[in-house]
Structure 1
Amino acid sequence: MTENPWKTRKETTIYQNPWIRLEEHQVLNPAGKEGIYGKVHFKNKAMAIIPIDREGNTWLVGQYRYTLNQYSWEIPMGGGPIGQDFLESAKRELKEETGLTASKWTELLRIHTSNSVTDEEGIIYLAEDLTEGETEFEETEILQIQKLPFAKVIDKVMKGEITDSISIAGILKAARVLGF
């Protein structure tokens, strides 16, 4: 079924900041019964990058994730304002977090990060033909960077050592595309 069985009766903004808007929707559910639905609207698209060098290495970024209250190893990623060129946002994020620039870019995947509560979309790129440079961390970032063989990163996903959903999806798609 491609037609929306939900009917929105009223939308109310509960909270917003520069990154998200929390909405409460008064709805009629598919059975025709009244209910509510909460939605987190993201004001940016998630941009994620898998940089691969000629030797088959990639870079992971480690940082403390406030919402999870734990440390996380991930592929380089960040937000790209809706309405701006997504590839340009990805290039900026790669440079900020790793110091890398790439001359070859391939879009690997578009995903919805948690489609039951949010409309966030993520775009994952493969970046190749890399040049190393200086990082440009944002003031909110205290990052560690690891350069690892891509095969070891795949193992980290399979062992549950990488838990970020965008990272997992991107790594596994890149593994298939690159023939790992």
Structure 2
Amino acid sequence: MSTSSHDQTGFYFYPIDSEVINCLKEKLLGRFERLRLPAGLIPDTINPYSYDPLTLPKGDDFEHVKRAFFFTNKQENRTVKDGFWRASTLPEKIFSTGQMLGFKEEFNFFWSIRNETIKTNWIMNEYSVNQAIFSEDERKAIGNKIGSYIVCELRYESEYDDLSDDDVVDDDDEDDDDDKSE
């Protein structure tokens, strides 16, 4: 029986980019369990490219943290039945303590319905490792997986996620302005 991170009171998995790369490195080396994260936190049995973001199994914690992670093989074809993932950024280098650990590339999901393309607020980040962070022996042991095995982070960005207090209009203020103009 797998334990979700929600089963551990007060635990939410909200890593920074370098921590995601470290998870991938440890997975490639067969040492992911050493990180002592809850079982099933980053599943490797779900191919996120086989689903649209609404039907993708995201785990119990998605409603709380609005992020889900998956270990998977990199794919060139990111098309599903009713949509596709399109790159929205060039790969970004991820650094920690001056060392380039890997890359992050962002994709947006688009619905493709009756010859109409509709951009959504679903975002997928693909994280890949820089092979230079492995020793020669580690590179030999891992083989071709270094370049093809990735972590995908799925998230939904609502239009209200980035609003500051200055962006919120107080209904009372609008009424006051209307009163002054009369």
- TM-score when normalising by structure 1: 0.23
Name the structure with the higher helix share: 2
Q: Which has the larger radius of gyration?
A: 2
Name the structure with the higher strand share: 1
- TM-score when normalising by structure 2: 0.23
